Structure 1
Amino acid sequence: MVDLSHLTSLPVANNVAWVFPGQGAQAVGMGQDLAAEHSAAREIFEAADAALGVPISKICFEGPADELTRTVNTQPAIVTHSLAALAAAAATGLITQRPAFVAGHSLGEYAALIAAGAVSFDDGVRLVRERGRLMQEACDREPSTMAAILGVEPDALRAICAQHGAHVCNINAPGNITIGGTASAVEAASAAATEAGASRVVPLTVSGAFHTPLMQTAADGMRQVLAGVAFSAPVMPVVSNVTAQPITEGSVLAEELASQITSPVLWADSVATMAAAGVTEVIEFGPGKVLTGLVKRIDRSIACRNVGTAEEASA
């Protein structure tokens, strides 16, 4: 079992937040250089393989892509890479302070909770694999899809979705919102959004409509799984996907993580919450640069850094 408790005992940097990406950030080869060059990262990948009984490190490093993009593998893969990047950055001395807040986008909330000491790495990575399995089952049971809508305000898009039987899934940044539902509902809402002045509509290649009521069976299943997990109070406040407010008590985490599956991800509001509390620097740990890109769109005054490769993790 990997011990990450040293992260929570670091002195606090009151102006810093750590953030962790969600599904869609994955790419074959992710984390391979980290594991090769940093023993702390390698230990995280080895711990994931042992905890899951699945060679998740090999799937990250070598693919194939269709295996990595299976939700049941994608979710633990991204969490593992994120924590490996964080562990490497701490080991090299790049990270010498803990943040005022942690936050993760959707799946990334689990990585945030592991970093904050609310749940062990082994338990966290097992939970996200089960989350991936339940969400894939829900997708298979009732086919659905998602689309990114650019250039329409949240309230206007909520009204459009309500009219056409679709749902708002993620409010990522100003003018960057994801909707989901059945294919026909998303198609109708997308057309209406275009008529309402959307600058762009991008159909997404996803398994289904995450963060909508169509995931209710997955949320119910996850609620049962989470009931058996003893969460600790997070040492660093975790900004909730569901409410965009900081969570400081372990007792509410099971319900947060179950509700999250059917609730919109309030990412823009989460970043605004952290900025209002004095955050001026955000570090994204994991594959890709999606969240730092969104943060720059939400608040240009926030300095952003990425740690996802061996080079980026070096002091």
Structure 2
Amino acid sequence: MLFSAFTINTTESTCSSTTMSCSSSTLILPSVVTKNGFRRFSSKQQLDKSRVFMSSISVGSRAAASAVVDDALFADYKPTNAFLFPGQGAQAVGMGVEAQKVPAAAELYKRANEIMGFDLLDICINGPKEKLDSTVLSQPAIYVTSLAAVEMLRAREGGQLIIDSVDVTCGLSLGEYTALAFAGAFSFEDGLKLVKLRGEAMQDAADAAKSAMVSIIGLDSDKVQQLCDAANEEVDEANKVQIANFLCPGNYAVSGGVKGIEAVEAKAKSFKARMTVRLAVAGAFHTSFMNPAVSRLETALGATEIRTPRIPVISNVDAQPHADPDTIKKILASQVTSPVQWETTIKTLLTKGLKKSYELGPGKVIAGIVKRMDRGAEIENIGA
């Protein structure tokens, strides 16, 4: 949701821009770079600050040991190179065309078609736009295209070295699933199944209530909160609004009931907002309006094997990396009702010394946000 020439193309979380008392033991992992580019540590290398806590549970006459990874495993991460993945709103008809020139990237679409039950690539390439923009299709389409971009990078000269150098990753809302897949927390297929269900559950939740989102341009977060407070004084509980996406200074999205959103739009000029843009979304994402989607996500996540990521993956919920698979599941379930903390995420990466980042997938939304926060930041877009 960046603005320079104020070209807005937003949905779930984005807007495009023309610029823009247990004993502990050491966790030991084998060291290889797999064909997927996943880095692991050798048996001769200790994974820094890692701990595995073991607790014994008696079951009849037998005792079973369960390992729980310390969730703070990545707390002291030092970012150097980052992969950043876009969220809903970055989609565009024609994406995926270039990916067909790289066999490994093209293969992802074939595998996706089997899971989706229809030709996802055809919709990515040919549209129609209205169909691709729908929540149920745009989310899996962006997920697949973003991971296809990783394969395109891998295929170019020096690409594998770049992939191996990445030591932190994150994604904007939907993009968090892409980041987790890249970091090896779950397989490509399992991630796509989760994203497919997520899109369907969010669409169904949106259909159950009249809600909307609007982007507020030109105000800081405190002013946007004051604007929300003023709007909420005029509407009933079912129409309350809140900040849903903290994207970057001067660019925040508000979600809530339709009457509340209309009140925000009516009052924005008096708060000296530069402009407001109603977002073409199904409903009030990242608020309690999405509560009906949570239980469905919890069930699906509970049935999915999630592993400790091989590198830190920064959460949208609290702008922190998590290592414990059970915690990651809880975070992902609550993500659809929690405000997106993207501004804090990028600010933290930059403050910690991030040297270069790569935006992988359709559009240049994230590059615009990063440049908005630090004009000197080095970021490269890898499309598909």
Fold match (TM-score > 0.5)? yes
* Paired letter, 1:82: S
SS of the residue 1:258 aligns to = helix
Contact 1:181–1:212 at 8 Å: present in 2 too? yes
Q: CA deviation at 1:125?
A: 0.6
Q: CA deviation at 1:10?
A: 8.2
1:256-303 Cα distance to aligned partner (Å, 9 max, x none): 111110111111100011112221211000000001100111122320
User: Residue in 2 aligned with 1:15?
Assistant: 80
* Paired letter, 2:227: I
Matches within 5 A, 1:73-222: 73-92=137-156, 93-96=158-161, 97-163=164-230, 164=232, 165-222=240-297
SS of the residue 2:142 aligns to = helix
Q: CA deviation at 1:244?
A: 0.8
User: Residue in 2 aligned with 1:262?
Assistant: 337
Contact 1:73–1:132 at 8 Å: present in 2 too? yes
User: Residue in 1 aligned with 2:109?
Assistant: 45
* Paired letter, 1:301: G
1:116-169 Cα distance to aligned partner (Å, 9 max, x none): 000100000111010000000011111211111012221232233244221111
Distance in 2 separating the partners of 1:8 and 1:207: 36
Distance in 1 separating the partners of 2:127 and 2:219: 37
Distance in 1 separating the partners of 2:155 and 2:356: 20
Q: Please, what is the CA RMSD of the aligned residues?
A: 2.0
User: Residue in 1 aligned with 2:50?
Assistant: none
* Paired letter, 1:160: L
Q: CA deviation at 1:178?
A: 0.4
Contact 1:82–1:111 at 8 Å: present in 2 too? yes
Q: CA deviation at 1:19?
A: 0.5
Q: 1:82 to 1:116 in 2, by over 3 A?
A: same
Distance in 1 separating the partners of 2:78 and 2:114: 33
Percent identity of equivalent pairs:
39
Bigger fraction of residues in helix: 1
Q: Which runs of 4+ in 1 moved over 4 A?
A: 10-14
- Structure 2 unpaired stretches of 5+: 1-33, 42-76, 233-239
Q: 1:108 to 1:305 in 2, by over 3 A?
A: same
Identify which range, 245-254 or 142-151, moves more after superposition.
245-254
Contact 1:139–1:209 at 8 Å: present in 2 too? yes
Identify which range, 54-63 or 134-143, moves more after superposition.
54-63
Contact 2:37–2:160 at 8 Å: present in 1 too? no
Q: Which of the two has higher C-alpha Rg?
A: 2
Distance in 1 separating the partners of 2:118 and 2:39: 31
1:223-244 Cα distance to aligned partner (Å, 9 max, x none): 2221111210011101110001
SS of the residue 1:218 aligns to = helix
SS of the residue 1:8 aligns to = coil
Q: 1:10 to 1:303 in 2, by over 3 A?
A: farther
Distance in 2 separating the partners of 1:10 and 1:250: 17
Distance in 1 separating the partners of 2:248 and 2:170: 15
Distance in 1 separating the partners of 2:205 and 2:381: 33
Task: Count residues in correspondence.
Answer: 306
Contact 1:242–1:266 at 8 Å: present in 2 too? yes
* Paired letter, 1:119: F
Contact 1:139–1:208 at 8 Å: present in 2 too? yes
Q: 1:112 to 1:248 in 2, by over 3 A?
A: same
Distance in 2 separating the partners of 1:5 and 1:260: 31
Distance in 2 separating the partners of 1:264 and 1:13: 25
SS of the residue 2:167 aligns to = strand
Contact 1:280–1:301 at 8 Å: present in 2 too? no
Distance in 2 separating the partners of 1:185 and 1:112: 33
User: Residue in 2 aligned with 1:303?
Assistant: 378
User: Residue in 1 aligned with 2:316?
Assistant: 241
Q: 1:67 to 1:30 in 2, by over 3 A?
A: same
User: Residue in 2 aligned with 1:72?
Assistant: 136
* Paired letter, 2:106: R
Does the alignment pair 1:56 with 2:86? no
Q: CA deviation at 1:39?
A: 0.9
Distance in 1 separating the partners of 2:225 and 2:296: 27
Q: CA deviation at 1:83?
A: 0.1
User: Residue in 1 aligned with 2:27?
Assistant: none
Contact 2:247–2:341 at 8 Å: present in 1 too? yes
